[in-house]
Structure 1
Amino acid sequence: MPLFLILDQGGQSVRALVVDHQGNVVTRAQHAIATHYGSKGHIEQDADAITRDIKQCALRAVQKLSIIQRQQLRSAGLVTQRASLLAVNANSQQVLTPVMSWQDIRGGGNLRKVAITTTELRSITGLRLSPHYGVAKMRWSLKHNHAVNKAAEADELMFTPIASFLTQQLTGGKQYQTDAVNASRTLLMDHINCQWSAELLEKFAIKQQWLPTICANDEYYGEIQLGNLSLPLHYVNGDQATVLFSRGKPSPTTLSINVGTGAFISRVTDGDDTALLRSLVHHGKEQFRVLEGTVNGAATAIQQVISEVTTKQGSQSDLLAQVNGQLNNIPLFLNGIGGLGAPFWLPGFNSEFQHPESLDGVTPVAKLTAVIESVAFLLQIIIQRLSAHPPTPTKIEICGGLSRLDYLCQTLANISGMEVFREQEVEGSALGCAWWLAGSPADWRNAEVTSQFVPQHAPALSQRFSAWQQAMRQRLPADKAAMMDSQPQTLSPLDACSSS
């Protein structure tokens, strides 16, 4: 019975899971990682710490196996956050910058002078001009980081997505390589031919030699050495792309939600919406056209509110356990943590609590309830747009660390009118990666226990959702407020990539 090692770099922790050929997790190890929140949109992590911790997690997960189980290990896969990026010296492998998180928006000002329209950029990349993507971080580093400039002058600079950096660190390779999904989130890849776009490189003033080689997801990336054990790294992908495969081949009638640091929702469809993101997700020779929307502040929004509560109020788990929709004085939370994502795309939206009377009597638990509801409300705005394309979605599958909150799942069911399914194992990115390594078995995770949340009549919640929508309309610019109700603008389906 073959086993597979999956390494998962997330926003709050790194994980290693050993998974069998039917999707059962055999062993796991996890380590929290620190995030530094600076001023002016700086959100950073330590690249060396991430490397050390993910190697230690891999070793601990393997050490938990029996001797026979270790002999059954066949290969490894790596899934990472897509738009997180750093700079290194390509010759010495010296790290020149911290990891700039996908949530980092420091480079937004460097995008305003780029002569490209949203339509032009979307036609090449399928995406939108956003400070969250890698090219904004590259331009900021070239302007403000002396070590980066020095490496550029010496032709030794490499801007590497976190996936490319970890691949090199795990395998000891001399060259930097990245898969097409992670490359796409630099905003420099032509998603038709899955190569760096000469036009975009020129417009953004980035040299191609500063970027890693783009490879297929199912490439042989090298060997990972774990003590006396050597495992081939045979799959690298972005976390949200692999979530689609956590239950096997994705269905066009299913909405897939992954809730962690942020909340990401996607579906397979030939339809298009210019307010959402268009991606092409590859599985071997098969290609899936995917529409995706993002909510930037999920777990990060909860952490920010909890950090404002004194320790006398109880631990984070104690507070979250008390969250429910029956509390009195639940306020509204206009959630702009990390900026507004789809369909608004406003990086500078200020968050605030609102209450029809006064916030003085609102408890910390009521505030946390409002934050969790805001994540569901923002997701529902995206769900309405995703549901405009046939076939009509009939269910939601949810995973990620924050999906363990029953109230979030039930709120989504109530306001969407769709059943929400959550499996016992919530690490959807890792399981989607394992499905590919296992050869795409048809009986993948058939025995998995699933929690089901059925839509319920919740008049108080419905009233808060209506009030929240009205409050958002009042805060948003007129053109963005119209997106609360407008139908998506339909485009012709995009051509598929010629290679994976």
Structure 2
Amino acid sequence: MDFQGHMQYIVSVDIGTTTIRACLYGKSCNKLKVAEEKVDIEISGQDEWELRVEIAPEKLLEQFIRVVQSVLKDVSAEDSVAMALCCQRNSFVFWKKSTGKPLHKIVCWNDARARKSCEDWNGSVFIKMLNAGGSFLHFFTRMPRFMAAKNLKFLSAMVTHRALVTLETIPGHKALINDNDLGFGCLETWLINRISVSDNYLADASNISSTGLYDPYINGYNNVIIKILGFPTSILAPICDSISSKELCFIKESFFGRKIPISAILADQQSALYGSGGWDLHDVKISLGTGTFVDMNTGNKPHASMNGLYPLVGWRMNNTPVYIAEGNDHDTAVLLKWAGEIGLFENVQDTSDMAFAVKSTNGLLFVPAFGGLQTPINDGLACCSFMGLRPDTKKVHMVRAILESIVYRVYQIYQTMMDEVKPTKTSKIRICGGVAHNDFVCQSISDMLNCEIERVTDGGLVACRGVALLAGVQLGLWKEADLPNMISIESVFKPNADSRRVLVKTFPLWLQAVKRSTKFY
């Protein structure tokens, strides 16, 4: 690749659950180069209650350096480069500030070491009193914040309890806290502290908003919950905007041979919403990657949910957040990975044609619950299951049943969103992620939602692109008014009445299968 003249580039890095990738973008955010590596996930534990999911931090840092170096190797030293960073959420690490040395492996968002602690807290008298108090105050005030208290439950996917459980395993942690030598944070906090010129210690608002430490109704740390849990407040990094009028920090020159500013930071799903063009009120983005995430832009108001939707910060500028409502399901790509491993197909790209090849699943139903069932069912003890197996069940029926289960979970989350948020209209619904390459899944989602669905071009890179677009605004490379013309749509799926009838007819039976699979463990 030939780079001529003085140019401005953005290198966008997406640290995902399974892949870390760097994308180099040029003028008008055109993609120039991509480098990626698989993240080495370490899984251990005897059962669902003891599951450990970890990443070696030094190895992840080495991968970060390699993918960035790979996309920058042809960029002239005279050219300007800025970085945009997006990360998987709720994976965290403790480290010693004076040395930068991590004190344990990165604890991933789907690690279950705190599941028992969460269950104990959720069944405690305190939580019951908090729920009752929230219900009482909400009845009289109708304030969303009290509705949130009414429905508060601790989840192991949140950082709070996993961090406290992990902290107790660190020798001398109390002395480190007293000496102000204990660092703590999610991936963006740790990485920036490690690579920045001034050892910056900060937490991006979009990343911190999903940890359980943040209160969206006050746009800051939830000091009430933090105090109740006994979480050490002195180790919490100051919350920063996703972009600001100047660079958030600079990377040490020793890493890449130049001092690179970090101009924007976002959490991965929020970045995917931004990169899909979800800037307007009630825009919806559906991500089908490692998990399923349905995000709706709720503007300047956080949404309080009765059924497991989360009020998160989409992005924050000038201390003013744009909020989103999010529903999720943990199991999406993992379903297809498992199905391939047990021999249901040879190539995942064949699954769409396999599903289209039959008119129905022949009565077969699949419940996608390797990691439980999230919004709106919210049952971490649900089990994965096939129901309705018959002597004439074929592989194509099993593949179609798995794909339909992904569609039904998207429909459940989306319908919950529509029922609770009650938007006057949804201006656009866009879909992205690796599993969104599957035409059967996209068409079936369009059929079930009875809405037009737009599949974003390069959907697997949309998180990288989102934070790069945001960085370009900060750098003055383009204006917010230019953004709609910078989003490319690959395909548009429109509802089909015949296939919708088949899916709608099967859905009540699938709900029965779900009911039989809940509270299994």
Distance 1:401 1:36, change over 3 A: same
- The answer to whether the Cα contact below 8 Å between 1:377 and 1:465 also exists between their aligned partners in 2 is yes
Q: Does 1:419 align with 2:452?
A: yes
Equivalent position of 1:467 in the other structure: 509
Q: Does 1:431 align with 2:465?
A: yes
Distance 1:445 1:127, change over 3 A: farther
Distance 1:49 1:423, change over 3 A: same
- The answer to whether the Cα contact below 8 Å between 1:319 and 1:365 also exists between their aligned partners in 2 is no
Moved more, 360-369 or 459-468: 360-369
- The answer to whether the Cα contact below 8 Å between 2:13 and 2:464 also exists between their aligned partners in 1 is yes
Supply the distance in 2 between the matched residues of 1:21 and 1:249 (Cα, whole angstroms). 22
Equivalent position of 1:84 in the other structure: 91
In structure 2, runs of 5+ residues without a counterpart are 1-6, 135-144, 474-478
Work out which of the residue numbers 101, 112, 115 in structure 2 matches 1:108.
115
In structure 1, runs of 5+ residues without a counterpart are 478-500
Equivalent position of 1:221 in the other structure: 249
Moved more, 417-426 or 164-173: 164-173
Write the mapping of 1:72-221 to structure 2, written as runs, cut at 5 A.
72-111=79-118, 112-113=120-121, 115-116=126-127, 117=130, 119=134, 123=148, 128-146=153-171, 151=176, 156-171=181-196, 173-219=198-244, 220-221=248-249
Distance 1:314 1:476, change over 3 A: closer
Supply the distance in 1 between the matched residues of 2:215 and 2:453 (Cα, whole angstroms). 35
Equivalent position of 1:37 in the other structure: 43
Moved more, 247-256 or 84-93: 247-256
Letter in 2 for 1:18: L
- The answer to whether the Cα contact below 8 Å between 2:216 and 2:311 also exists between their aligned partners in 1 is no
Give SS of 1:324's match.
helix
Work out which of the residue numbers 352, 377, 381 in structure 1 matches 2:385.
352
Letter in 1 for 2:290: T
Equivalent position of 2:485 in the other structure: 446
Q: Deviations over 1:201-236 (max 9, x none)?
A: 221111112322322222512225453332101211
Distance 1:93 1:80, change over 3 A: same
- Shift of residue 445 of structure 1? 6.0
- The answer to whether the Cα contact below 8 Å between 1:21 and 1:438 also exists between their aligned partners in 2 is no
Supply the distance in 1 between the matched residues of 2:147 and 2:195 (Cα, whole angstroms). 33
Supply the distance in 1 between the matched residues of 2:177 and 2:316 (Cα, whole angstroms). 36
Percent sequence identity over aligned pairs: 19
Q: Does 1:296 align with 2:355?
A: no
- Shift of residue 334 of structure 1? 1.0
Work out which of the residue numbers 418, 440, 463 in structure 2 matches 1:387.
418
TM-score (norm 2): 0.82
Q: Deviations over 1:284-307 (max 9, x none)?
A: 245323211011111123223333
- Shift of residue 169 of structure 1? 2.8
Distance 1:253 1:123, change over 3 A: closer
Give SS of 2:295's match.
strand
Letter in 1 for 2:334: T
Supply the distance in 2 between the matched residues of 1:372 and 1:149 (Cα, whole angstroms). 49
- The answer to whether the Cα contact below 8 Å between 1:96 and 1:148 also exists between their aligned partners in 2 is no
Letter in 2 for 1:465: F
Work out which of the residue numbers 333, 357, 364 in structure 2 matches 1:326.
357
Supply the distance in 2 between the matched residues of 1:254 and 1:169 (Cα, whole angstroms). 36
Supply the distance in 1 between the matched residues of 2:152 and 2:243 (Cα, whole angstroms). 23
Equivalent position of 1:4 in the other structure: 10
Supply the distance in 1 between the matched residues of 2:434 and 2:194 (Cα, whole angstroms). 26
Give SS of 2:279's match.
coil
Distance 1:103 1:297, change over 3 A: same
- The answer to whether the Cα contact below 8 Å between 1:325 and 1:461 also exists between their aligned partners in 2 is no
Supply the distance in 2 between the matched residues of 1:465 and 1:266 (Cα, whole angstroms). 23
- Shift of residue 144 of structure 1? 4.2
- Measured on the aligned residues, the alpha-carbon RMSD in Å equals 2.8
Q: Deviations over 1:342-372 (max 9, x none)?
A: 11222221111112x43x6544554333222
Letter in 2 for 1:443: D
Moved more, 322-331 or 55-64: 322-331
Distance 1:154 1:255, change over 3 A: same
- Shift of residue 403 of structure 1? 1.5
- The answer to whether the Cα contact below 8 Å between 1:322 and 1:365 also exists between their aligned partners in 2 is no
Supply the distance in 1 between the matched residues of 2:170 and 2:29 (Cα, whole angstroms). 44
Supply the distance in 1 between the matched residues of 2:166 and 2:69 (Cα, whole angstroms). 34
Bigger relative contact order (CA 8 A; separation at least 6):
1
Equivalent position of 1:409 in the other structure: 442
Say how many residue pairs are matched: 469
Give SS of 1:55's match.
helix
Letter in 2 for 1:227: F
Supply the distance in 2 between the matched residues of 1:149 and 1:290 (Cα, whole angstroms). 36
Supply the distance in 2 between the matched residues of 1:184 and 1:287 (Cα, whole angstroms). 11
Supply the distance in 2 between the matched residues of 1:221 and 1:441 (Cα, whole angstroms). 23
Distance 1:51 1:199, change over 3 A: same
Distance 1:364 1:235, change over 3 A: same
Q: Does 1:307 align with 2:314?
A: no
Distance 1:247 1:476, change over 3 A: closer
Letter in 2 for 1:208: T
Distance 1:394 1:248, change over 3 A: closer
Supply the distance in 1 between the matched residues of 2:354 and 2:172 (Cα, whole angstroms). 47
Equivalent position of 2:140 in the other structure: none
Supply the distance in 2 between the matched residues of 1:50 and 1:28 (Cα, whole angstroms). 18
Supply the distance in 2 between the matched residues of 1:318 and 1:293 (Cα, whole angstroms). 27
Equivalent position of 2:67 in the other structure: 57
Equivalent position of 1:17 in the other structure: 23
TM-score (norm 1): 0.85
- The answer to whether the Cα contact below 8 Å between 2:93 and 2:107 also exists between their aligned partners in 1 is yes
Moved more, 368-377 or 231-240: 368-377
